[in-house]
Structure 1
């Protein structure tokens, strides 16, 4: 099996949705909201993708300033390709695109927390989330 990796290659919303549906990440994303999903992929400024021929089989979707912080919003690998090093490679390629002082930051799915520890990520408990519909200070 030959997997090709690309940086900022075009990915359609439908390809993105199909990949998330066939990975464990789909259950935590608004797959039914095509406009939101299209916006997620279109407005990411660093997308590393893995392809088996013309099939999208992995993605590392990030928002970054390339110098200080890179938020790895989505890391997904198709179920049929998991446990083969694709997720690790997507993260490594992402890291090569960042400046030497840039941190790679992510929020792990509960079942994936042990995965990141063995890749040398440091656990940080200081994450806060403001849900849609909530106003600052109300």
Structure 2
């Protein structure tokens, strides 16, 4: 099955928005699928949930990725789970799947032809500035940046 068919089954709004983002269906890609909230997803937001050119499966080591929207996000995996989280969780196996920015991977990925869907617990934020440019723009903080 293609990424379109898989995505249509999980999140119709995102599948529709991805049609404007992914032009070449033969390129490898990774799509981060947030929960369905029945809201229309813009093309800009859809771009922030796809990495074209790579099929990303391994989130065991800290790294970064760049989405089609230009957001640079960290990826990783925490071996040390909070004792509080372990006490309130009824599904301890969920902690083993990795993290993208502030979103956690919530279930097993779905592989398609040259693609993979990674399911996350919340939408990825659009990141337009890095920390350096943020500090440089703020007059009250720029003295710490120089």
TM-score range, shorter chain: under 0.3
TM-score, L = length of structure 1: 0.26
TM-score under structure 2 length normalisation: 0.26
Tell me: higher relative CO, structure 1 or 2? Use CA pairs within 8 A at least 6 residues apart: 2
Structure with the higher fraction of residues in strand conformation? 1
